[in-house]
Homo-oligomer: A and B are copies of this chain.
Amino acid sequence: MNSDHIVRRKLSDEVFDRLAGMITSGEIGTGETLPSERVLMERFGVGRPAIREAMQALANLGLIQINHGERAKVREITARSLVRQVDLAAQFLLNASPTNLDHLKQARRFFERGMVRSAAELATPDDLAQLRDALAAQRQQIGDVPAFIRADMLFHRQITRISGNPIFDAVSEAMLSWLQAHRTDLLIWPGNEEVTLREHAEIIDRIAAHDAEGAEAAMVRHLDRSADLYGPRPSTG
């Protein structure tokens, strides 16, 4: 245990900072390529492992994309790419304990309740048309369970998109995909599709009426149905 707090940073961390600086400063813009590893190790006066570790870290952050045989390219950072970065860790977290899954389900309920309120306040005729399109598209998928579930997720994301905030969109996408990976909270199984579609239609109606309270209540009923039905656990596997 060191008595002083001086942390000796790894050499690759310094390289990381310099590379990150080149990106954020705009010296290397989105879509452009970084110098090759061999050039960088000479320019920075370090060995190749330091360069590679730093670049792997940047790639893990989603800042750059590395492909075999090509030079690394700078990628655009978005709320989506940022959320996607934690996808794997989130899976580990959810697998670690069922409590975590409960917390996520609660967070999703909280999120959807607020989002549908916001949607009821903000929805334009165009937004409503897109919601109805999403509902129609979902109806088309009856009989194909995976496709129906995908359409279901898209419907909920469509509500989120009305906010116009890409952060909400990214969060919605992530939470739904994580829940789907655990085959829970999706309240869909063969024979049940009509119930889901009816509830979705009801939600659209309340949004169209700009009835925030009613929309939230309809969403809560829709989401809470899973709690009622997943107790006896229907044999959907």
Chain A contacts to B: CB under 8 angstroms? 8, 20, 23-24, 49, 52-53, 56-57, 60-63, 68, 77-79, 81-83, 85-86, 88-90, 92-93, 95-96, 100, 103-104, 106-107, 110, 113-114, 118, 163, 165-168
- Point out the residues of chain B lying under 8 angstroms from A79, CB to CB: 93, 100, 103
Give the complex CA separation of A95 and B77 in angstroms.
Answer: 10
Contact B24 A95 (CB under 8 A): yes
With A103-B165, A103-B167 known as contacts, the answer to whether A92 contacts B114 (CB < 8 A) is: no
- Point out the residues of chain B lying under 8 angstroms from A77, CB to CB: 89, 92-93, 96
Q: List 22 A-B contacts (CB under 8 A).
A: A20-B92, A23-B92, A24-B95, A24-B96, A49-B52, A53-B56, A56-B56, A57-B60, A60-B60, A77-B89, A77-B93, A79-B100, A82-B86, A82-B93, A83-B86, A85-B85, A85-B86, A106-B163, A107-B168, A110-B118, A113-B114, A114-B114
6 additional A-B pairs beyond A56-B56, A77-B92, beta carbons within 8 Å, are A8-B68, A49-B49, A61-B92, A79-B100, A81-B89, A103-B165
Interface class of chain A by DSSP: helix
- Point out the residues of chain B lying under 8 angstroms from A24, CB to CB: 92, 95-96
Which B-chain residue is minimally distant from A61 (CB atoms)?
Answer: B89
Which B-chain residue is minimally distant from A115 (CB atoms)?
Answer: B110
Contact B103 A110 (CB under 8 A): no
- Point out the residues of chain B lying under 8 angstroms from A118, CB to CB: 110
Contact B60 A104 (CB under 8 A): no
Q: Closest approach, in angstroms, between the C-beta of A97 and any C-beta of chain B? A: 10
- Point out the residues of chain B lying under 8 angstroms from A85, CB to CB: 85-86, 89
Q: Closest approach, in angstroms, between the C-beta of A212 and any C-beta of chain B? A: 12
